[in-house]
Amino acid sequence: MGMSQHRRLLAPIVALGIVGIALAGCTGGGGGDNGGGGDGDSVTIMGAFTDAQADAFQADLDKWSETSGITVTYDGNTDFQTAVVARATAGNPPDIAIYPQPGVLKSQTASLYPLEDIGIDVDAITADEANGLGTIAQVDGQTFGLPYSINVKSLVWYNPAAFEAAGLTVPTTDDELTAVQEQIISQNLGYPWCVGLESGAATGWPATDWLEEYVLRYGGLDDYNSWIAGDILFDSDLVNEAGDKVADELLAEGKVNGGGPAAATTSFQTAGNQLFVSGKENGQCFMMRQGSFIADFFPEDIKAQIADNDLTNINFFQLPAPDGTEQAMLGGGDLVGAFTDTDATKQVVEYITGKDFGTNGYASQAIFLSPHNDFDTSQYTTEFQKNAQELLAASTTFGFDASDQMPGEVGAGTEWTELTSWFAGQKTMEQAFQAIDASWPDR
């Protein structure tokens, strides 16, 4: 899955100490005065985020304008996806658009300029980014978008106080992760994992993230992208290896309270509450692999601690890579594309996709995480942002959420339902994978 499906769900929630989730918020808007024209000194940007995030984004650009001499007007629209297509079709696009999903951007390549064509040195901008970040919006060797802010998903949340009380050590390798789980089970401390797949009509999406983690690690970026494109099947050696790993982690005896069937009916929003109870009899679990946005759903007292940068009872580490594979980060991000080729548009794209963006104030937004390893982390205001940036910098590869990029009937359809059936024990993994393959359009 991706964020796209719960952006609507999360819209009213204020991001507390979380990293890089782009919330689509609450006020609509038309376009800038000069539409797609651009008069050289003024540039219009359209995006999906509104309210406090939009205000902070505009303020950062206003500060930058003092030295650049370019006036930038940001217009947030909650119906961005429809509006940006409508305006481009009508010949009145903004100069720049910020896309929460690669799919919509890639559907507009006929209207967007390749960034190379407007004079942007893509290699220079992406030199300090994890492999995969610079090529998310590449089509036929041309770059139609670059990330300005990202979110990360390969996070294992845990309660440091509970770890300490149980004598557990934070694992840094896959073997250590296995050992921690064995210790939790053998000493009857509780359950290694908290897992919730239930999400209303979107039930099953958390399972897609788990599968993506290991396809990305075992396959590397090229095979991961081939899987997204449909060139590698679910019922392939690679995805079966990843699925077996997920089963070892979550579906083996004692790993999850109630096993796969319970995970399938547990809400993703409340699954993490069991990190903060004590004792196996109370359903205590010790780890939860989930994206940065999940902090919004923790109990109120934990959210208050996060707001105070108190990590006594909540923190995260990165899901370790299996031996012999590269450390990878799964996530999402917001991509910047250009509809006009003026020098002013070029300069604005260079600023917001470059490593200095955020230094004029925007990094104080808890939702912001720079894609750049060289970003000055002292600009961040939360420990979570700093911690996530360190993990990102240590990652060789970045994989953009796969199910968000697959055809809708698969990534937001059969993959959700079939993986849920597998977890629930209604189907074998092989049956579930074959059913997903059979649903692929034009195959």
Q: Would you tell me the crossing angle of helices 51-68 and 343-353 to the nearest 10 degrees?
A: 120
Q: Are residues 274 and 232 in the same domain?
A: yes
Q: Are residues 144 and 261 in the same domain?
A: no
Task: State the residue for tokens 């782009």.
Answer: 22
pLDDT at 24 over 70: no
- Evaluate whether residue 349 is within a structural domain: yes
- Evaluate whether residue 302 is within a structural domain: no
- Evaluate whether residue 316 is within a structural domain: no
**297 alpha-carbon distance from chain centroid:** 16
Q: Give the Cβ contact number of residue 442 at 10 Å.
A: 5
Q: Are residues 133 and 51 in the same domain?
A: yes
Q: Are residues 147 and 185 in the same domain?
A: no
Q: Are residues 360 and 423 in the same domain?
A: no
List, for residues 333-344, the tens digit of each pLDDT value.
Answer: 999 999 999 999
Q: Are residues 177 and 257 in the same domain?
A: yes
Q: Are residues 277 and 166 in the same domain?
A: yes
Interior CA angle at 23 toward 120 and 113, to 5°? Answer: 25
Per-residue model confidence (pLDDT) at position 14: 34
- Split into its structural domains, the chain has a count of 2
Q: Which residues pair with 71 in a beta bridge?
A: 42
Nearest one of 397, 407, 369 to 385, comparing CA atoms: 369
Average pLDDT, the chain: 91
Q: Are residues 235 and 174 in the same domain?
A: yes
Element spanning 5, H or E: helix 3-10
Residue 263 one-letter amino acid:
A
**Percent of the chain that is helix, strand, coil (3-state, to 5):** 45, 15, 40
Q: Are residues 357 and 390 in the same domain?
A: yes
Task: State the residue for tokens 């950062």.
Answer: 60
Q: What is the mean pLDDT of residues 43-53?
A: 96
**Cα 182 from Cα 199, distance rounded (Å):** 29
Burial 113-129 (b: 16+ CB within 10 A, else e): bbbeebebebeebbeeb
Residue 429: CB partners within 8 Å, gap ≥ 6? Answer: 240, 243, 244, 247, 422
With a pLDDT cut of 70, the percent of the chain lying above it is 91
Q: What is the pTM of this model?
A: 0.88
Q: What is the mean pLDDT of residues 146-163?
A: 97
Whether the CA torsion 150, 153, 154, 155 is positive or negative: it is positive
- Evaluate whether residue 424 is within a structural domain: yes
Q: Are residues 131 and 183 in the same domain?
A: no
Largest CA distance in the chain: 69
**Cα 419 from Cα 208, distance rounded (Å):** 7
Per-residue model confidence (pLDDT) at position 443: 79
- Evaluate whether residue 324 is within a structural domain: no
List, for residues 68-118, the tens digit of each pLDDT value.
Answer: 999 999 999 999 999 999 999 999 999 999 999 898 999 999 999 999 999
Tokens linked to 32: 């800038």
Per-residue model confidence (pLDDT) at position 222: 97
- Evaluate whether residue 323 is within a structural domain: no
- Evaluate whether residue 306 is within a structural domain: no
Nearest one of 352, 346, 396 to 133, comparing CA atoms: 396
**Cα 263 from Cα 195, distance rounded (Å):** 5
Per-residue model confidence (pLDDT) at position 8: 28
Q: Are residues 169 and 139 in the same domain?
A: no
Per-residue model confidence (pLDDT) at position 35: 39
Per-residue model confidence (pLDDT) at position 101: 86
Q: Are residues 267 and 161 in the same domain?
A: yes
- Evaluate whether residue 296 is within a structural domain: no
Confidence of residue 30 (pLDDT cuts 50, 70, 90): very low
Range of the domain at 123: 3-151+332-397
List, for residues 358-389, the tens digit of each pLDDT value.
Answer: 999 999 998 899 999 999 999 999 999 999 99
DSSP code string of 292-309: GGGGGGS-HHHHHHHHTT
List, for residues 397-423, the tens digit of each pLDDT value.
Answer: 999 999 999 999 999 999 999 999 999
Confidence of residue 40 (pLDDT cuts 50, 70, 90): low
CATH at 337: 3.40.190.10
Higher pLDDT, 292 or 58: 58
Per-residue model confidence (pLDDT) at position 32: 36
